[in-house]
Amino acid sequence: MKLKTDFLFTLLLFCVFAISAFSLVVIGAGVYENSVTSMEQNFEGRTALAYVAEKVRQNDAGASISATDNILRITTEDQDGSYILYIYEYEGFLTELFTRAELPFDAQAGRQLLEVENFTVSESDRGMLEISTAEEGQEPISLFLHLRTGEKTK
């Protein structure tokens, strides 16, 4: 009788240990999955903002930069004529289109860069650009850029 009781106690203790270990692994996997998803979303949003900021900084001194209707327009001129770089969100992607100034804007013709959600770009009267993106249910990530050009933006 004592042998049966010892065996059952040992078996019960082993089962409690096994269930605890399995529960710990399941909880850890859920936490890890949430962390990875959050990091990926954060990475995509910050990468999109960094890309737009770098384009603005590259062209800030010699170009006209404006933002209307969530479209960033960077107009440059050289000996061949005027060109416009459009940066905007189209069908869930940060998209850019580089074209001659006299050609009409066609959102479908742009090149998809990164997946983004709720990409917005706006301009204040004092030469500040606000660029932001936000995943569904997340806080928006914003970036403010002060344009260095002496000209007032269009």
Q: What CA–CA distance (Å, rounded) separates 55 from 60?
A: 8
The per-residue pLDDT for range 43-93, each reduced to its tens digit, is 878 888 999 999 998 888 767 888 889 999 999 988 888 999 999 999 989
* Cβ–Cβ < 8 Å for 134, 50: no
* Cβ–Cβ < 8 Å for 64, 77: no
Lowest mean pLDDT among 51-60, 76-85, 123-132, 143-152: 143-152
The per-residue pLDDT for range 108-120, each reduced to its tens digit, is 999 999 888 889 9
